[in-house]
A and B are shown apart, each in its own frame.
Chain A
Amino acid sequence: MAQDALAAPLAARPVGWLDRFARFFDRYLLLVYTGFAVLYLMLPVFVIALFSVNDPIGRSNVAWRAFTLKYWLDPFGVPGLFDAVATSLKIAFASTFVATALGTLIALALVRYQFRGAGATNLLIFIPMATPEIVMGASLLTMFVAIGRPPFFPLNELTILIAHIMFNISYVVVTVRARLVGFDRHLEEAAMDLGANEWTTFWRVTFPLILPGIIAAALLAFSLSIDDFVITNFTAGRTVTFPMYIWGAARIGIPVQVNVIGTIIFLVAVGFVALSVVLGRRRA
């Protein structure tokens, strides 16, 4: 903006050193700063990856010692880690499936229809996203304890799943709604004019068009679920998910294999995003 600001009145004014500084600031310093900011953001990711090829003595993997690939060749070589990752994946798939279905229906209702209570619905969708996770986890815990009997107590995989579906619904609604807002209703009207009934119109016209939004929401829900620690901490009982495993190991030292799994999850997620970008380009 400093550059744009200078452009017009420049002709009338002599260029002083302050102007030069402002232009330098705008042209170079902002970009240099952004480079450093991105490095700062990625630094921990780099550290995680670096320490996945470290060969520490003992369990404490916090100082660089020597390069090795042995943990990459045996990523589940510590007891319990495979089960923890499997549990996380299971809960992530299940909660993504349910939350995406429920959230998409809400998003459709909010964008496509005008009805009494839309404002209250919007607020009910927003508030879980603006509640600290610890409060949601704690309140679910008190409810499960108050019920005090199976299938809710003792806490188990089902209670984690219930919690993950709960916090994911809002994110799905918000993501799908964002894609639905620009939706051209004339396409549906055209289908109806050509004799399709509402059911056919939905599955043949509406659904394929909003599918990218639904997929984006599902990916977000999956990544939130698989990485959730706080709410899981309160609703897991003795069940160990991948984040719970890290939490338990943090005191005595996180095994190198955990860094390997963390790096793999990062690479897979980045791969998915790259894939969606490529597919999006091809579509366009």
Chain B
Amino acid sequence: MAEVTMRVWRGDANGGDFELYTIEQNEGEVVLDVIHRIQATEAPDLACRWNCKAGKCGSCSAEINGKPRLMCMTRMDQLPEGPVTVTPMKTFPIIRDLVTDVSFNYVQAQKVPALLPPPMPEGGYRMFQEDVERGQEFRKCIECFLCQDVCHVIRDHEDNKVHYAGPRFFIRYAELEMHPLDTNDRRDLIREEMGLGYCNITKCCTEVCPEHIKITDNAIIPLKERVVDAHYDPVAWLGRKIRRQTKRSAQEAAVQPAP
């Protein structure tokens, strides 16, 4: 049975500091196990967010030795020797200790115009595996928001949050835009209000994604091409002008009653 020193940031919106805990560590344990042991013994009020402890819910995001990671999927024996530093995600406001206010993401989610499929035929829609696979990759997202945390557009520039949706929502828009059944058009919205242009494809989001979604290559770059093509192609521009007469607004489409 080994012991490890954990440097855990503790505090709230008014500030805080690192506290050191020297604690037992067993074979095969992950960072979240050790945090739980600190809670159960030395600091029952140490705040951390978690649910499944299996890498499926995306709740226990934090920065471990400075890297955005899920605490439940980071094995202690794969970290370098010495103290392990755990801090809350930097991009979001602190609630307490390791828990941050991630409501930015839930506000962004409200802005997404919903899927607008044609009426369903008897016996269900027909879609082919190769056509759904692109969207399925993005739907693996567990909403851990580590991609949002690492994205320098909002990590280092708080004021960008008002006009930037972030990588998590770029894959959501990409998924909808690539959905075989969708009839909604979100291209202007993505370009004008979601700030896709701010992303300069440094791929930090892809690197931290615990689901290994190729956020930059498979979502953001194709989305940029799609949005830009639509904007500068005069035929597409004219078509959009004409179509827009009859097309629902994004707002209306978002509150479609269920079929």
A and B co-occur in one complex: no
Q: Which residue numbers of A lie inside 8 Å of B, CB to CB?
A: none
Q: Which residue numbers of B lie inside 8 Å of A, CB to CB?
A: none
